[in-house]
Amino acid sequence: MNLPIVKGEYRKDYNLKHLTWFKVGGNAEIFFKPVDSEDLASFLVQNKQKLPITTFGAGSNIIIRDGGIEGVTIKLGQNFSNIDFTDDGHLIVGSSCLNFSLAKFCQVNAISGFEFLVGIPGTIGGGVAMNAGAYGCEFKDILVRIEAIDFAGNFRTFTNEEIGFKYRGNNLPKDLIILKAVFKVNKGNSEDILARMNEINAARSSTQPIKERTGGSTFANPEGFKSWQLIDKAGLRGYRIGDASISELHCNFMINNGNATAKELEDLGNFVQQKVFEDSGIKLNWEIKRIGKVSSRGLTTG
């Protein structure tokens, strides 16, 4: 395989398991960390073989299947995590910045509206991509525009309206890597902001298994319903396949109890889908992304 000449680092057959919150999954055929956006653009322009491309964030809301990921897995590192102000007074944030880091920056600088981010694992890029939300707020409520690059190496900008936000998703092209997000700035009181963040953290600690190996919410909430209530009603609280289980604390969280495989987690999620549909007639849609190849040791559907 002839790889493009880059300034960043390539690693072959790279173990991704340690980068995910579930601590499961196979290896990346090629793992690439560009040093900056120009390096990333250079790689994309040179990718004449059209190697498959997968982007990887904080690994918080994802299952990497046991067979690993073909092609090139791209992870944007610390050089893509800066927080700064634009000339017109907006916040501009690198896509690999953690949601918690931005929430804390805004609290220190008395900027309100970002408190909900303290309760959302992952990165800004991932949050934009899935229109992540919690406690009555979503990314669509605070975003002005994004700066991105497509798989051909073209830099592109999309406004909030052009992104086409919807519940846990958007209408952006699939061949796109988000580089930066620009946000509205509304001044607030730093102490009030901190108090709200503390409330959110306390609520999470008491209702979610945040100290476990988990991937956040497994399923999106169907309109008019809460996924956890439907799962509980179907009698699946604590249900287990191998070392993967439904959390006793919050039914919409799956847990790796030590040695679960990606297949066990995905099979558990698919089983929950089936049983909830049989019980209530409502289909739950995955919120956790599942990517990569199934292992030759067994097939997973869904």
Active site residues: 168, 217, 287
Q: Which residues contact 162 (CB under 8 A, 6 or more apart)?
A: none
- The β-bridge partners of 159 are 145
Nearest-10 Cα torsion for 161, 140, 289, 239: -140
Give the residue from 210, 193, 213 showing the smallest Cα distance to 202.
210
Residues 6+ apart with CB under 8 A from 18: none
113 close to 203: Cβ distance less than 8 angstroms: no
For residue 48, how many other CB atoms are within 10 A of its CB? Answer: 8
For residues 65 and 289, the answer to whether their CB atoms sit within 8 Å is no
